[in-house]
Amino acid sequence: MITCPNPDCSHLYRFDAGNLDIVEWTGKKKEIRRLHCSMGKHRCTDRQGTPLRDSKLPQETVVRIVRATGPRTTGRGWTC
């Protein structure tokens, strides 16, 4: 599920609100969706707001890294 990441959009944090349309596919294998919000007139990718946003690594690699360094491996949880 994805929501518009634009803080000025009236549909911010409203999942499956019907305001996002796929306008193109990007990435080497065309696996990243580029979306357009019909309410806020904002464009973004489905990776925005995730650890994958600026990553050049394959999604599987990032998922493996997050799982290996997550709170379950140390038992301490996330800390800032």
**33-62 confidence digits (pLDDT tens):** 898 988 888 888 888 877 778 888 888 888
Instruction: Determine the Cα–Cα distance for residues 62 and 19; give it in Å rounded to an integer.
Output: 28
Task: Give the residue-averaged pLDDT of 17-36.
Answer: 88
Q: What is the pLDDT of residue 24?
A: 94
* This prediction's pTM: 0.62
Q: What's the farthest any 2 CA atoms get from each other in the chain?
A: 43
- Which pLDDT value is given to residue 25? 93
Of the candidates 14, 4, 7, which has an alpha carbon nearest to the alpha carbon of residue 37?
4
Q: In the predicted model, what is the mean pLDDT of the chain?
A: 80
- Element (DSSP H or E) covering residue 72: helix 71-74
pLDDT of residue 59: 82
Cβ atoms within 10 Å, residue 40: 19
Residue type, 39: M
Domain positions in the chain: 1-66
